[in-house]
Amino acid sequence: MSTPVDDNGHPMLASSFSRKNPNRQYSIKTESGLSRASTATTSSNSSTNSSIRYPSDSTNLTGFSIEQYLSNTPLPPPPSQQQQYHSLPNNNNNNNNNMELSDDHFDIIDSLNYDDVDDGLIDHEMVHRRRETLVHQLLTSEQAYFESLQVVSNVFIEPLKKDAKQSSFSFLGMKKMICTERETRWLFGNFEEILHVHHEILIGLEERLRIWGPTQIISDVFQSWFARMGAYKAYLDNYSTAVTTYERLTRYQPFKKFIDNAHKDAQLKGATLLALLQTPAGCISRYAQLMTRIADATSPMHPDYVQLLQCKQRMVSIAEEMKAKIDDADNVDQVLMIHQALIGAPFGVKAQRRLVLQSSMSISGEERIYILFSDILVFVRPKQDGNRTLLQFKGMVPLERARLKPVHPNTIEITSPFQGVDTLNTTFVASSQAHVLQAENQEDRDRWMERLQKVIANLDRASAKSANKRRVVQARSKDSRSSTSSDRT
């Protein structure tokens, strides 16, 4: 919900399996604000449409490349249509031991039709082999995916559960708990349900492949998967909570020590917990692409053709339904990447925070990167640390009840009613202050103006809704106290 991991979210436990590469840096395309991370090269003089690399062990969720599993292995060539012709025997002519063939002989050879090969039969065999290859690759990818899910359960979930039970019975709580049972639920969500789902899926695939043949059907196996895909909706709904819980727990020494030791486990082969938590988000897209390719590789004369087309349409429809959730999970990863690259920022990751827009601007000859989140505007100075690009925090502008004013064709004045930070969910309030945002051109200014207005409007609506809810709660509490007082009298 990035192998290193493969680009979509689906890992391999071999060298190509892990989604994490400690030397990889990720870029975030600023045009869309919700774009995927990639391994593009950083430009030192970037603009609104530029890409910025951030060091992180997180990868994209939905950039899965199906070619990781569907290698273009060439099929065996069809039987050669050329025939090797042998010379006709000599007639033992005493005067000529090597008789030359006459035109009549060639007419006889031509009439034998050695080139009359059944092309239709060859094509049918190639289609069958291509279809069989795709089905076997589906099985291989599913085995790798299930193995990655099992690793999470064996190396992380089960030990954390065991520690929570043991810590609860430790003498006077002398042993520090790695994390509570509630934090474990926040971190993994319904991960174990997904593990069970894919255990059943893998069993069904393996059973069908044992009796595989040219006319064997597989659509009935696919149809049994659709009802189980609902587990991914719950997982993606919890994804932002899982990522923010992970980020917070890594600042807690017992959990950090546990994770560092777990990452040395040979079963992981270089993968990290965060990378493995990201992989399920790519599963739906993987299935949609695989079913599409298998259906397209099936002959219309095959007994499973019609049902496979229906499976293809159903899985593509499921992928479209979940696209918004997958994109949101991808955005959560973008936010985490930026936070991991920030230096000196007085705030942490929030589950509700999303990336909206970012641009590189020049202020008094010094490069600044402005990052618009769904709740604050942050400006930073990029700095190189070897091959990594870090972001030195320079300031922030809270946007709740902020006012915007276009001052110049390229300039926006942002006036915030207060200044402060949200460390530990607290806010330091000070006098209002105006901040000037200098865009590269009027087009960029208009884009920033539009996005800022939307963010401010959303924050104001949320603030008003929260205030109304507090008033209702206070009124009910007051009525309850009055009722209790009346009963006593």
Q: Show the 3-state SS of 78-92.
A: CCCCCCCCCCCCCCC
- Phi, psi of 431, rounded to the nearest 5 degrees: -70, 155
DSSP letter for 77, please. P
Q: Does pTM top 0.85 for this prediction?
A: no
Per-residue pLDDT of the chain (489 residues; tens, 9 = 90+): 444 445 444 445 443 333 434 344 444 443 433 333 333 333 334 344 434 434 444 444 334 443 443 444 444 444 444 444 344 444 444 444 455 555 555 455 455 454 545 566 666 678 788 999 999 999 999 999 999 999 999 999 999 999 888 765 554 555 678 999 999 999 999 999 999 999 999 999 999 999 998 899 999 999 999 999 999 999 999 999 999 999 999 999 999 999 999 999 999 989 999 999 999 999 999 999 999 999 999 999 999 999 999 999 999 999 999 999 999 999 999 999 999 999 999 888 899 999 999 998 877 678 899 999 999 999 999 998 888 889 999 999 989 888 998 888 888 889 887 655 554 444 445 556 788 888 888 899 999 999 999 999 999 998 888 888 888 877 777 767 666 666 665
Do strands 366-373 and 37-38 pair parallel, antiparallel, or not at all (unpaired)? unpaired
What pLDDT, on a 0 to 100 scale, did the predictor assign at position 457? 93
What pLDDT, on a 0 to 100 scale, did the predictor assign at position 72? 43
Are residues 271 and 15 in contact, defined by beta-carbon separation less than 8 angstroms? no
**423-427: long-range contacts (C-beta < 8 A, 24 or more apart)?**
423/346, 423/347, 423/348, 427/398
The residues that bridge with 55 in the sheet, in sequence order, are: 25
What pLDDT, on a 0 to 100 scale, did the predictor assign at position 189? 96
- The domain 354-471 having CATH identifier 3.30.2320.20: the answer here is no
- Phi, psi of 390, rounded to the nearest 5 degrees: -105, 165
Domain boundaries, the chain: 120-342, 354-471
Q: Which CATH number fits domain 120-342: 1.20.900.10, 3.10.105.10, 2.60.40.740, 3.40.50.10210?
A: 1.20.900.10
- Phi, psi of 397, rounded to the nearest 5 degrees: -130, 110
